[in-house]
Structure 1
Amino acid sequence: MADLTRHNNERVRKAKVVLIGCSAGGFTLVYDIVSKLPRNFPLPVIVVIHRSRKHKSSIEEILNSKSKLMVKVAADKDQLKRGNVYFAPSDYHLLLEPDESLTLDCSEPILYSRPSIDVTFQSVADVYHDNVIAILLSGANADGADGICYIHEKKGFTVVQHPDSAEVRTMPEAAINKCSADLILSNLEIFSFMETLATTVNHNA
């Protein structure tokens, strides 16, 4: 993995949340990322995956049995807690309120997607500003590009999967073409980055 510069290290250290977004081709990578997170992982994690309400997914239940962290489907009014992983439910946008509670929203799909990565990334950035780490992975449309760029504008820390590592390169390419990410990482480098967060983030922030 490319070493974090001292400047970037300071930005990562003060983070209050990790966001992960993906669509087609990203499911397995998300599973592997979450299942490998250490017990002392110091941040809440919010995951947004494009998935149809017509097809039931048990990823949260399976991961909760395998992960060292609490993994669940986000529910309305859930309060973000360190070391918990929240998956956006199918057919709802997932928003963060100023009191750090989650809200489910059924407004129109964005880029044919509900949940929308853009909606969640932008909502969380409006609350946490530059204290956000956002990771965008494989996907078949451009959802997430606007969200990554919005976080970048607010000085949050942005990571995009290298298109050559993605099963479907449309989503990470859209983000890279729209704005500059702090890091563009291979799959192995993403795992390394997540491990680094456990020791880099200020637990008392």
Structure 2
Amino acid sequence: MSTPAPLTELEAYLAALLQGRHFEAAVIGASAGGVAALLEILPGLPREVPVPVVVVVHMLRGRSSQLAELFASRLAIPVREAGDKEDVAPGAVYFAPADYHLSVENDATFSLSNEPLHIFSRPAIDFAMQSAADAYGPNLVGILLTGASHDGAAGLAAIGAAGGLTVVQDPHEAQSPLMPEAAIRLRQPDLVLPLRDIRTLLARLERGNS
């Protein structure tokens, strides 16, 4: 019988941080440079990902989103565009559709709206994160990646205030550091990590029994 490989320093730290914590969902926000960043972290998701992963990426207005198709060919788990009134179910990655704000209702279903732009964006990261914080409370992971605006800073702060785990990409490696820097200024996140370590974190999430 082979001996398990020893944990790296990061893996040991994450194991201690996550011990006793269980999660019901993860929300990821990104803007400029976000697709490349997501291509580094999402393929690290386990084949049977234990939580739903909701992704909001800023897009140019007037263009349809091809993100679900792009990532479906690269991940071993279901990837789809979130639909209005659809259940937020574990085992899948959901992308916000173009030109709609995406929210998570308290009954763990999606809601789409065409409310005015928020910080020049629709979908807005703040909408998804703040609503998910209300729905999942401490059982939520929020991750904010590269971007060229401060959208997502308030949303991530709301997740932190609700007791959820907050993670920001290291601004020093971000293609556009404005978004992670804004989040750090507003409320210190639990973790500031490079993409390779965010990938490791996602792979270690455990789902609660509720």
Normalising to structure 1: TM-score of the pair? 0.92
* Deviation (angstroms), 1:36: 2.9
* Deviation (angstroms), 1:59: 2.1
Q: Separation in 1 of the partners of 2:207 and 2:36?
A: 29
Q: Separation in 1 of the partners of 2:199 and 2:45?
A: 9
* Deviation (angstroms), 1:63: 1.5
Contact 2:63 2:98 in 1 (8 A): no
Q: Does 1:155 align with 2:168?
A: no
Q: Deviations over 1:42-98 (max 9, x none)?
A: 000000000023233322112213211110111111101111111011111101112
Residue equivalent to 1:93: 101
Q: Separation in 2 of the partners of 1:109 and 1:10?
A: 39
Give the one of 46, 51, 54 matched to 1:46: 54
Give the one of 119, 124, 127 matched to 1:119: 127
Of the structure 1 ranges 160-169 and 52-61, higher mean CA displacement relative to structure 2 is found in 52-61
| Partner SS state of residue 167, structure 2 | strand
Q: Separation in 1 of the partners of 2:15 and 2:204?
A: 13
| Partner SS state of residue 4, structure 1 | helix
Tell me the amino acid that sits aligned with residue 9 of structure 1: L
Normalising to structure 2: TM-score of the pair? 0.90
1:21-100 to 2 correspondences below 5 Å: 21-100=29-108
Residue equivalent to 2:14: 4
Tell me the amino acid that sits aligned with residue 194 of structure 1: L
Unpaired runs of 5+ in structure 1? none
Q: Percent identity?
A: 40
Tell me the amino acid that sits aligned with residue 65 of structure 1: S
Q: Does 1:146 align with 2:151?
A: no
For this pair of structures, how many residues does the alignment match? 200
Q: Does 1:204 align with 2:201?
A: no
Task: Mark the CA change 1:203 to 1:152 in structure 2 (over 3 Å): closer, same or farther.
Answer: closer
Runs of 4+ in 1 over 3 A off after TM superposition: 202-205
